[in-house]
Amino acid sequence: MSGEILIRTAKLTDAERLLEIYAPYVEHTAITFEYEVPAAEEFRSRIGRVLKKYPYLVAEQEGRILGYAYAGPFVGRAAYDWSAEMSIYVDQKIRRQGVGGRLYGAMEEILREMNILNLNACIGYPKVEDEYLTKNSVEFHRHMGYQWVGEFHDSGYKFGRWYNMVWMEKMIGEHPDQPEPVKPFPQVREQLTGRILNA
């Protein structure tokens, strides 16, 4: 790939392009267990909901978005506030070219600034690799420093097949007796622009 890859905060106006990236995962893979491609308005709402507290990032090159990643609540109870669930999707035409690593690297730096300590990833996992699902997502997370936590069997049904689901985790901070409160992303975003985020 030519040209610098920029990492910036997603905008609501990015929804259509992000849907172009996401739709093939829905329609042709079991990487997401979602059955129907959401409408653009629904996708814009999802982006807006995430950005109220968590980062939602895009990787952009020469004005074109190549992939996106976002964090969200893990379970949602107050005691889990220092944990976040991770999601990432990269344009299938340019996978394995470092875009995912750049996105996840920026996400980790931002989440540390927010005082998040644990990163969790819920990943579809095939009993036998097929045309809809491979073990690439687990391999990517392992490469990024995530550890296998556990496997749930026959948890997702898509394309007439049952798939397992695994959890992986990565600790990005110490766990003191009195952890610092988690800061919402909007509170730290400005200080990260120019250092972690391009915009």
Which helix (H) or strand (E) segment holds residue 122: the answer is strand 118-125
Domains of the chain: 5-184 (3.40.630.30)
Which helix (H) or strand (E) segment holds residue 7: the answer is strand 5-9
pLDDT bracket for residue 19 (50, 70, 90)? very high
pLDDT (tens digit, 9 = 90+) per residue, 67-116?
Answer: 999 999 998 899 999 999 999 999 999 877 899 999 999 999 999 999 99
pLDDT bracket for residue 199 (50, 70, 90)? confident
pLDDT at 2: 65
Computed over every residue of the chain, the mean pLDDT equals 96
User: ∠ at Cα 4 (57, 31), nearest 5°?
Assistant: 40
Q: Is the pLDDT of residue 1 over 60?
A: no
Phi, psi of 100 (to 5 degrees): -60, -40
